[in-house]
Amino acid sequence: MTLRIVYRSYGGDNAKARPPYYSKQTALRSLLTAADAVDHELVFLNDGPVAEPVLELMRGRGEIVALPGLGLFGSLMAALRLPGERGWADDDLVYFCEDDYLHTADALEHLVRAAAQVPAHYFALYGTLPAERAAGRVSDPSHVQPRGWRAQEWDVDGQVWVRVLGTTSTFGVRVGALRTDLPLVRQAKVPHTNMYRDWDVSLAYQGFEPYRWGGLLRDLVLLTPAASLRDRVRSAVLAPFKMGMNLRSHRLPRHRHVLVAASPNLATHLETAYLATGRDWEKVARETGEWTGAAR
């Protein structure tokens, strides 16, 4: 098994609320530090132009591919197509990483160990854990535990991995599973201009319906509760596409894929409202500078 890292960088930024220690340089330094601990190949996909301080960190660390003007979904699809275009083996592990995630120094070590021992196909270093869901800490309270869900947990050299419902666009995956699931990703994009429904895709490739049929039927007839007329119309338009995702989730058992996440998380999205729990991420950011000799 070869670990391949595909790091997606965007030249701009957005208006999301960020913690005070956020910077794209710190995020990239943390990934590079984690990568130093494992054998890997690294490809940078830059939807640029990328800022020079970030580009300088990339030079000499991996292949740099400039693909400007792709946008969110274009960049994601370029990354997901890469394993097929380059003929990577089905048992290779790919870690797709966005440029606003902070990693612990041992994050990729734990990822490689888990891939060798846990019978899963997808591996999230960042993901909502069962305890967080129980406490109501989810990005969308409409997401409910599907019928047939079975909790599972593995301890790999002191790091716990648990089965989870969904994750973001930053995740690890076995190449063979990714090949099978790419049509799901494309289908999730169909009704949107620049949006990726990562949670829906995560549930569907595991064989679970992302939506309750009752809610979709209400949406379809403009009975979405507590919404403006504009929102109800939008929900009605989206309802058939969501029904299609529900139908697509009915897969043969051999085509269902398992998603697990590190508990506590080994990485965090650097958005203030969605920082992973269980770690002092400000300390991780500070130590990232110390590990790399970079002044904060």
- Rounded mean pLDDT of 125-149? 70
246 versus 190: the higher-pLDDT residue is: 246
222 & 269 share domain: no
7 & 84 share domain: yes
77 & 16 share domain: yes
What pLDDT, in 10s, does the model give residues 39-79? 999 999 999 889 999 999 999 999 999 998 888 888 999 99
Of the listed ranges 5-9, 110-114, 236-240, 256-260, the one predicted with least confidence:
236-240
24 & 67 share domain: yes
- 86-105 exposure pattern, b = at least 16 Cβ within 10 A, e = fewer: eebeeebbbbbbbbbbbbbb
Contact between 242 and 211 under an 8 Å Cβ cutoff? The reply is yes
* In-domain check, residue 36: yes
User: Average pLDDT of the chain?
Assistant: 90
Count: domains in the chain:
2
100 & 219 share domain: no
**Euclidean distance between CA atoms 247 and 167, whole angstroms:** 21
**How far out from the chain centre does Cα 71 lie?**
17
* In-domain check, residue 30: yes
Q: Strand, helix or coil at 29?
A: helix
140 & 205 share domain: no
pLDDT at 137: 58
Percent of the chain whose predicted confidence (pLDDT) is above 90: 65
User: Over 50: is that where the pLDDT of 28 sits?
Assistant: yes
* In-domain check, residue 160: yes
61 & 128 share domain: yes
15 versus 177: the higher-pLDDT residue is: 177
Contact between 42 and 7 under an 8 Å Cβ cutoff? The reply is yes
User: Over 90: is that where the pLDDT of 294 sits?
Assistant: no
**Euclidean distance between CA atoms 155 and 263, whole angstroms:** 10
* In-domain check, residue 183: no
Contact between 26 and 118 under an 8 Å Cβ cutoff? The reply is no
What pLDDT, in 10s, does the model give residues 268-280? 999 999 999 999 9
The model's confidence at residue 159, banded by pLDDT at 50, 70 and 90, is very high
How many other CB atoms sit within 10 Å of the CB of residue 134?
Answer: 9
What lies within 8 Å, CB to CB, of 64 at 6+ separation is 44, 46, 55, 58
153 & 115 share domain: yes
Stated as kind and residue range, the H or E segment containing 94 is strand 93-98
208 & 95 share domain: no
19 & 153 share domain: yes
96 & 215 share domain: no
- Which residue blocks in the chain are alpha helix, DSSP H? 24-35, 52-58, 71-85, 107-117, 130-134, 175-189, 198-205, 213-220, 229-248, 281-292
170 & 268 share domain: yes
pLDDT at 138: 57
Of the listed ranges 3-7, 159-163, 225-229, 247-251, the one predicted with least confidence:
225-229
* In-domain check, residue 37: yes
* In-domain check, residue 52: yes
Q: Which domain holds residue 198?
A: 188-248
* In-domain check, residue 239: yes
* In-domain check, residue 21: yes
Contact between 185 and 80 under an 8 Å Cβ cutoff? The reply is yes
Closest C-alpha to 79, from 192, 167, 1, 185: 185
Q: Considering just the CA atoms, what is the radius of gyration of the chain in Å?
A: 19
